[in-house]
Amino acid sequence: MAIKVKWCGIDFGQCLMDPSGLRNYLVIGDVCKELGEPEFIDERIHRYRVLKEKYDSYGAVKEGHRDEILRYVFDNNQEAMSLFSAKEQEFLKLADGVEQALIYLKQEGIDICVVAELKKTLGLMGSDVVTRFLQNQNLVQYFSKVITPQGMVNLKDGSIDMSYKGLTKGEGTLYDQLAEDLLGDGIKPSEAVIIGDKILTDIEQPRKRGFETIQYTGFVNAGASSADYVISSFSQLREIVKGKTDA
């Protein structure tokens, strides 16, 4: 039986974004060379690997711990971090079947948002890894908002709603606020679906608030969960998600 919804929230790291083409040693090497610091390449690559071991994946580091990339990997060198942010976009790709799935969801009349565990303070469109990726991949047209612990960005006008500031997916407080906002728009949590790869933050916490959930295993299979459905490709959404109308 298909899930009938009015709203869909999709996780960013290792979900929308395919990190498999990213060669971190190349990006960090290019940054160090451009800064005239080739002698730091090996040490900075090692530090980046330490963060990956700490948070389980490079995707998790990129989405939720960019402050540590700046502080630990690049010794608070803001110029190095800016170069890193620009160069990594050259290697990031879309997950399999994403754009076709987004087209389908829009045709079904479903509002689509990104729900990301972003730690960087939000600013102008394109100043953070999520909105920059959406712009570079020409995906902004499919999404209405980017929802993060730093605030909610309206992709239509660039305005930022700070009611999400300090809330998190891990503690579930972000989903509490999201459920309240959706109800204000006439959408029940049961008429909304969250898609993501992480069991605690993308499956368990939204399910506690009544959201439908889909576990994405295209990059990382975190194991069995209580998700309503499990997919390995976004092309499978056509089979299990339908738009819901009030008619």
Question: Do 180 and 229 fall into the same domain?
Answer: yes
Which of 88, 114, 141 lies at the terminal end of a domain, its last residue? Answer: 88
For residues 154 and 230, state if they share a domain: yes
pLDDT at 127 exceeding the cut of 80? no
- Report the share of the chain in percent with pLDDT over 70: 94
Assess whether 61 and 167 both reside in one domain: no
Do 56 and 163 lie in one domain? The reply is: no
- Using a pLDDT cut of 90, give the percent of the chain over it: 70
The CB density around residue 109, as the number of other CB atoms within 10 Å, is 12
How many domains is the chain built from?
Answer: 2
List, as own/partner pairs, every contact residues 232-240 make where C-beta atoms lie below 8 angstroms and the sequence separation is at least 24, other chains included. Answer: 233/96, 233/97, 234/95, 234/96, 234/97, 234/98, 234/100, 234/101, 235/96, 235/97, 235/100, 235/101, 236/97, 237/97, 237/101, 237/104, 237/105, 237/195, 238/101, 238/104, 239/2, 240/2, 240/3, 240/214
pLDDT over threshold 70, residue 123: no
Q: Which domain-ending residue is among 66, 88, 110?
A: 88
Domain boundary among 33, 56, 88: 88
pLDDT tens digits for 14-46?
899 876 656 777 889 999 999 999 999 999 999
Is-contact 91 23, C-beta < 8 A?
yes
In this structure, the answer to whether residues 11 and 75 fall within a common structural domain is no
For all residues of the chain together, what is the average pLDDT?
Answer: 90
CATH code of the domain covering residue 108:
3.40.50.1000
Range of the domain at 208: 3-18+93-243
